[in-house]
C-alpha cells in the first residue's frame, strides 16, 4: 500500500487504512454524488477533495455520480457545469454515472422488498403520514395500509408505476418499525409519484425513489466501499444499512459522516444561491461574488488554492465555521510567487512633471516579481505626464501622511523622486491636476543616497496608459447570522460590487481572460473572462494584499 499523502491524517483515513490492512477491501472506491440542481460551491469542493484525495492516496477509484432522482429541480446545464468544475479542480473520475440509469434496478429491488413483506403501498395523505409518524417523545401509529397482502401491494405498486394514480395519491413505504426511537426507521417513504419529465429518462417513469432508499442502492451498485457524507445524514445510517441488506445487494458500502464546511459570510446552499441568481442579485452562477467554484474561478481563484484550503481545514465530526480569510490567505500564498507584479491606477489623478523634457519618453527597467528574480524585468515608459492614485495626494494631510502633498517629495516606484509644486483645481474647487518637479539624480537602481523620502507611490505614464475597468468586491452578505436565515435576500449587501475606471501599464495590452496579476499596493487581480474584449480590459480584484489573518 503506497501512500501519496495528499490528505492530512483524519479519522476517515484511519478507517480506510484498517479496512485495507484487515483485507475487508482490496481496493477502495469512493464517489462524489452531487444532485444536478445547481452549480457547485466551495462546500462541494471539500467533499470532492476528500473523496478523490482519499482514493488517490490509496490507489483507489472515485466515481462522479449525478444523484438525479428529483426530476423537477434538475437540469442538464447543471450536469455540464459540475463536470467542468470537478475537472478544473484537477480531478479525474473513474466512471461517470447517473442515478437515473439505475431506476429499473431500483424498481426491481422495491418489488423484492414487497415480496419479502418489507414494503407496502400507502393510501394516507402526506399530512396523515406525518401525523401517524409520532414525535421524538411518542412512538408512531401503524397505518391501516400496513397490513395489505403482498399480492395487493404488488398490484398497487404496478399501478403506481403505470401512471394510474395522481401525484401524492399513493407512496411506497418500507415496513420497518413505527415505534423506533429513530424516526427515519418509522416506515420511511421509498417511492413517490411525480408526473414530470426527467432530464435523462424523459417520461419513462412517473414514480421516483426517495434519497434514503436510492442512495445506498446507488453506492452498492457501483461497489463503493466508503460512502462519505455530511453529519446531517448520521441518523439515516441505520436506514442505509437496512436498504443494502434487505435489498440483498452484494456490495456492502459503509456510510461515514464528517462535518460539513461552513465559511463566514458565505451562503452555502445551492437552493439559496439559485435564489440570488433568479432574483438577479448577481450576474449568474459565475458572478465573482458567488461562492460557487465557477464564481471563484472567474474572480481569479486557482484550483490549487481551493484544494489547499479544503485540505488544511481538516476533517472532523463537530460543527465549525472557517473564517473566509483563510481562503483568502491561500490564494495570496499561491499567487505571491506566481503572479507578475505591475502597476495600476484605479482612481486616476493627472500629474505633470514640469521640468521633464517635453516630448521625451524614457523606458525604465522594472522587475516582474521582486521575490522571483528569474521572472526577469519589464520595460515601463515615463514621460512628462503620468497618472497617480487620487488617494496618494492630499492638500491638507494629517500627521504621518507620507504621500504627495504640497511641498512634499515622494518616490515614484521604479523611477525618480518627484516634489509637489502646485495644485490645479476646477471651478468647483476639485483638484484636477498636480504639478511636480523631478530630480534626475534620484533614478531607481542607481544607488542614489543623497536624501531619503518616506513615501513610494505607483503611477502609469499617461500617453501610453491602457484604460481599464476594475471591479472591487465586498461580501454579498455582511451579517453572518443573516446568511443562515431564510430572509437572507433582505440582507444582501447593496455595495458588494464597486466598478471604477483607471489605467494599467501599456504592456498589459492583450492580457487574456484568467491572467492573474499583482497590482502594486492594490492586491491580486484576474482578467475577467466574460467582460474583457480586445478593446477593453476588465479586472476582478481577487483579494487585497494584506490581512491581519494568522494561520
Ligand atoms: P446544497 O444544499 O448546497 O444543495 P447538498 O448537500 O444538498 O448541498 P449535493 O449535491 O447533494 O448538495 O452534494 C453533493 C455532495 O457534496 C454530498 O456528498 C454532500 O454531502 C457534499 N457537500 C455539500 N455541501 C457540503 C459542505 N458545505 N461541506 C462538505 N460537503 C458538502
Ligand atoms: Mg441537496
Residues 226 and 242 reside in one and the same domain? yes
Which atom from ligand 1 is nearest to the alpha carbon of 272? 3
What is the span of the domain harbouring residue 353?
Answer: 344-458
The verdict on 217 and 205 lying in the same domain is no
Co-location of 206 and 217 in the same domain: no
- 362 CA → ligand 1 middle, Å: 56
Over residues 12-70, the pLDDT tens digits come to 999 999 999 999 999 999 999 999 999 999 999 999 999 999 999 999 999 999 999 99
Q: Residue 72 to residues 99, 177, 195: CA-CA distances in angstroms?
A: 15, 31, 10
Q: Which of 35, 304, 469, 484 is catalytic?
A: 35
Residue 37 Cα, ligand 2 centroid: separation in angstroms? 8
SS3 35: coil
Q: Ligand 1: distance of its center to the CA of 20 in Å?
A: 27
Cell 505571491 belongs to residue: 336
Residue 42 CA to residue 301 CA, distance in Å, equals 11
DSSP-assigned states of every residue in 501-545: EEEE-GGGTT--TT-EEEETTTEEEEE-TTT--SS-EEEEEEE-S
Distances in Å between the Cα of 480 and the Cα atoms of 6, 381, 495 are 32, 46, 16
Q: Which of 210, 240, 270 is the last residue of a domain?
A: 210
Per-residue pLDDT at 531: 94
The torsion of the CA quartet 44, 215, 191, 202, rounded to 10 degrees, works out to 70
Closest residue by CA, ligand 1 atom 3: 269
CA dist 293 and 299 (Å) reads 10
d(CA 70, CA 38): 13
Classify strands 466-473 and 189-193 as parallel, antiparallel or unpaired: unpaired
The answer for residues whose C-beta is within 8 angstroms of residue 544's C-beta and 6 or more apart is 522, 523
Q: Of all atoms in ligand 1, which is nearest to the CA of residue 51? A: 18
| Structural domain contains residue 515 | no
Q: How far apart are CA 84 and CA 79, in angstroms?
A: 9
pLDDT score of 346 more than 80: yes
The residue whose CA is least distant from atom 4 of ligand 1 is: 270
Using DSSP's 3-state secondary structure scheme, residue 20 falls into: helix
Given a cut of 90, is residue 86 above it in pLDDT? yes
Q: Dihedrals φ, ψ of 234, to 5°?
A: -55, -45
Ligand 1 centroid from CA 383, angstroms: 55
Q: Say if residues 430 and 441 touch (Cβ distance below 8 Å).
A: no
Distance 67 CA to ligand 2 centre (A): 9
363 with 444, same domain: the answer is yes
Q: How far apart are CA 85 and CA 67, in angstroms?
A: 16
**Which pLDDT belongs to residue 3?**
39
Same domain for 365 and 424, yes or no, is: yes
Catalytic residue among 270, 384, 521, 541: 270
C-alpha of residue 50 to centroid of ligand 1, in Å = 12
CATH code of the domain containing 390: 2.40.240.10
Domain-terminating residue out of 151, 180, 210: 210
Does the annotation mark 260 as catalytic?
yes
- Look at the block and give the residue holding cell 500500500: 1
Q: Which atom of ligand 1 is nearest to the CA of 230?
A: 20
Least confident of 189-198, 407-416, 467-476, 508-517: 508-517
Same-domain status, 145 and 219:
no
Least confident of 271-280, 308-317, 447-456, 541-550: 541-550
Pick the residue whose CA is nearest to atom 14 on ligand 1. 34
Ligand in closest contact with the CA of 41: 1
235 and 205 belong to one structural domain: no
**Mean pLDDT (whole number) for 188-206:** 97
Closest residue CA from atom 16 of ligand 1: 44
Query: Residue 551's pLDDT is what?
Result: 63
Q: Among 10, 30, 47, say which to mutate for ligand 1: greatest number of ligand atoms within 8 Å of CB.
A: 47
Q: Do 318 and 241 share a structural domain?
A: yes
Which residue reads 462546500 in cell numbers? 43
- Is residue 536 in a domain? no
Pocket test for ligand 1, best of 32, 34, 270 (most atoms within 8 A of CB): 34
C-alpha cell at 293: 467554484
At 485 the pLDDT is: 67
Confidence of residue 482 (pLDDT cuts 50, 70, 90): low
CA 503 to chain centre: 30
190 HSE (CA, 13 A, CB side): 33
Q: Annotate 43-74 with DSSP letters as a single string.
A: HHHHHHHHHHHHHHHTT-EEEEEE----TTT-
Q: Is the pLDDT of residue 367 over 70?
A: yes
Residue 532 lies in a domain: no
Largest CA distance in the chain: 102
Burial of 114 (0-12, 13-18, 19+ CB in 10 A): buried
Q: Which of 44, 45, 46 has most ligand 1 atoms within 8 Å of its beta carbon, as the pocket-test mutant?
A: 44
- Per-residue pLDDT reduced to its tens digit, 368-413: 999 999 999 999 999 999 999 999 999 999 999 999 999 999 999 9
Q: Are residues 324 and 352 in the same domain?
A: no
The CA-atom distances, in angstroms, between 71 and each of 66, 76, 99, 108, 211 are 12, 11, 12, 20, 13
395 is catalytic: no
435 catalytically annotated: no
Calpha distance 526→540 (Å, rounded): 5
Q: pLDDT > 70: what percent of the chain?
A: 97
Ligand 1, atom 8: closest residue by C-alpha:
269
DSSP lists the bridge partners of residue 362 as: 382
DSSP letters spanning 442-473: G-TTS---S---S-EE-EEETTTPEEEEEEEE
Half-sphere exposure of 21 (CA within 13 A, CB side): 6
Q: Which of 329, 362, 388 is the last residue of a domain?
A: 329
Residue 482 covered by a domain: no
Number of residues that make up the chain: 551
With respect to residue 246, please indicate whether it lies within any of the assigned structural domains: yes
Residue 90 falls inside a structural domain: yes
pLDDT at 2: 36
Supply the residue whose CA is at minimum distance from atom 22 of ligand 1.
44
Q: How far is the CA of 163 from the centre of ligand 2 (A)?
A: 27
- 288/81 Cα distance (integer angstroms): 16
Query: Which ligand is nearest to the Cα of residue 49, counting in written order?
Result: 1
Catalytic residue from among 73, 260, 338, 482: 260
Tell me if 491 is assigned to some domain. no
Segment 191-202 mean pLDDT: 97
Residue the block writes with cell 461552513: 262
The CATH code of the domain that includes 263 is 3.40.50.620
pLDDT of residue 484 exceeding 90, the answer is no
Helix, coil or strand: residue 438: strand
Pair (181, 248) in one structural domain? no
Average pLDDT taken over every residue of the chain: 95
Q: How many domains does the chain have?
A: 3
Q: What is the pLDDT of residue 491?
A: 86
Q: Quote the CA–CA distance of 45 and 123 in Å, as a whole number.
A: 41
- Residue 88 shares a structural domain with residue 107: no
Residue whose CA is at the smallest distance from ligand 1 atom 27: 43
The three three-digit cell numbers of residue 92, written as one number = 479525474
* DSSP H helix total and E strand total for the chain: 13, 25
For residue 124, the domain's CATH number is 3.90.800.10
Task: Let me know if residue 60 belongs to a domain.
Answer: yes
Q: Looking up cell 394510474, which residue turns up?
A: 164
Q: Are residues 224 and 322 in the same domain?
A: yes
Q: How far is CA 308 from CA 295, 304, 328, 331, in A?
A: 18, 6, 11, 9
Q: Would you state the cell numbers that stand for residue 257, as one nine-digit string?
A: 459522516
Q: Which residues line ligand 1 (CB under 6 A)?
A: 33-35, 43-44, 46-47, 67, 229-230, 260-261, 268-271
Q: Which helix (H) or strand (E) holds 334?
A: helix 324-336
496 CA from centroid of ligand 1 (Å): 26
Q: Is it the case that residue 479 has pLDDT exceeding 80? A: no
Q: Name every residue whose Cβ is closer than 8 Å to that of residue 545 and which is 6 or more positions away in sequence.
A: 332, 518, 521, 522, 523, 524
DSSP class of 415: S
Distances from the Cα of 87 to the Cα of 6, 75, 97, 353, 540, angstroms: 17, 19, 15, 52, 23
Indicate whether 514 pLDDT > 90: no
Mutate to test the pocket of ligand 1, among 10, 43, 78, 317 (most ligand atoms within 8 A of CB): 43
Amino acid at each position: 500500500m503506497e501512500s501519496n499523502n495528499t490528505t492530512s491524517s483524519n479519522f476517515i483515513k484511519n478507517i480506510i487504512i484498517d479496512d485495507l490492512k484487515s483485507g475487508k477491501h482490496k481496493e477502495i472506491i469512493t464517489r462524489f454524488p452531487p444532485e444536478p440542481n445547481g452549480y457547485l460551491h466551495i462546500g462541494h469542493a471539500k467533499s470532492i477533495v476528500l473523496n478523490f484525495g482519499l482514493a488517490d492516496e490509496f490507489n483507489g477509484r472515485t466515481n462522479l455520480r449525478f444523484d438525479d432522482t428529483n426530476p423537477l429541480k434538475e437540469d442538464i446545464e447543471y450536469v455540464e457545469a459540475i463536470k467542468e468544475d470537478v475537472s478544473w479542480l484537477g480531478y479525474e473520475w473513474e466512471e461517470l454515472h447517473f442515478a437515473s440509469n439505475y431506476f429499473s434496478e431500483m424498481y426491481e429491488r422495491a418489488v423484492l422488498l414487497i415480496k419479502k413483506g418489507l414494503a407496502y403501498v400507502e393510501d394516507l395523505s402526506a399530512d396523515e403520514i406525518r401525523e401517524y409518524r409520532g414525535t421524538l417523545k411518542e412512538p408512531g401509529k401503524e397505518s391501516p395500509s400496513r397490513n395489505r397482502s403482498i399480492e395487493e401491494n404488488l398490484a398497487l405498486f404496478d399501478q403506481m408505476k403505470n401512471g394510474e394514480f395522481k401525484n401524492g395519491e399513493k407512496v411506497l413505504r418500507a415496513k420497518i418499525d413505527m415505534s423506533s426511537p429513530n424516526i427515519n426507521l418509522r416506515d420511511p417513504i421509498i417511492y413517490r409519484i411525480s408526473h414530470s419529465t426527467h432530464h435523462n429518462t424523459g417520461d419513462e417513469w412517473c414514480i421516483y425513489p426517495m434519497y434514503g432508499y436510492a442512495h445506498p442502492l446507488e453506492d452498492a451498485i457501483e461497489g463503493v466501499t466508503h460512502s462519505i457524507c455530511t453529519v446531517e445524514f448520521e441518523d439515516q445510517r441505520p436506514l442505509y444499512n437496512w436498504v443494502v441488506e434487505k435489498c440483498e445487494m452484494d456490495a456492502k458500502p459503509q456510510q461515514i459522516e464528517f462535518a460539513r464546511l461552513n465559511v463566514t459570510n458565505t451562503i452555502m446552499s445551492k437552493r439559496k444561491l439559485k435564489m440570488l441568481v433568479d432574483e438577479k442579485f448577481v450576474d449568474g452562477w459565475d458572478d465573482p461574488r458567488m461562492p460557487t467554484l465557477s464564481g471563484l474561478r472567474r474572480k481569479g481563484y486557482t484550483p490549487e488554492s481551493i484544494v489547499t484550503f479544503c485540505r488544511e481545514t481538516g476533517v472532523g465530526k463537530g460543527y465549525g465555521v472557517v473564517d473566509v480569510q483563510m481562503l483568502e490567505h491561500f490564494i495570496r500564498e499561491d499567487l505571491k510567487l506566481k503572479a507578475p507584479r505591475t502597476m495600476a491606477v484605479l482612481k486616476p489623478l493627472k500629474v505633470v512633471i514640469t521640468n521633464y523634457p517635453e516630448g521625451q519618453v524614457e523606458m525604465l527597467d522594472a522587475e516582474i516579481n521582486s521575490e522571483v528574480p528569474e521572472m526577469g524585468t519589464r520595460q515601463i515608459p515615463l514621460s512628462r505626464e503620468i497618472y497617480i492614485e487620487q488617494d496618494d495626494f492630499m492638500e491638507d494631510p494629517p500627521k504621518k501622511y507620507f504621500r504627495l502633498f504640497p511641498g512634499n517629495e515622494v518616490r515614484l516606484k521604479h523611477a525618480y523622486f518627484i516634489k509637489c509644486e502646485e495644485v490645479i483645481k476646477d471651478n468647483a474647487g476639485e483638484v484636477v491636476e498636480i504639478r511636480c518637479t523631478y530630480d534626475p539624480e534620484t533614478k531607481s537602481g542607481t544607488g542614489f543616497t543623497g536624501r531619503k523620502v518616506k513615501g513610494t507611490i505607483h503611477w502609469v505614464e499617461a500617453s501610453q496608459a491602457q484604460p481599464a475597468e476594475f471591479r472591487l468586491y465586498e461580501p454579498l452578505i455582511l451579517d453572518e447570522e443573516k446568511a443562515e436565515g431564510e430572509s437572507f435576500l433582505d440582507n444582501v449587501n447593496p455595495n458588494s460590487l464597486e466598478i471604477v475606471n483607471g489605467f494599467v501599464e501599456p504592456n498589459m495590452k492583450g492580457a487574456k481572460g484568467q491572467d492573474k496579476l499583482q497590482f502594486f499596493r492594490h492586491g491580486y487581480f484576474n482578467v475577467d473572462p466574460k467582460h474583457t474584449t480586445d478593446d477593453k480590459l476588465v479586472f476582478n480584484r481577487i483579494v487585497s494584499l494584506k490581512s491581519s489573518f494568522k494561520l
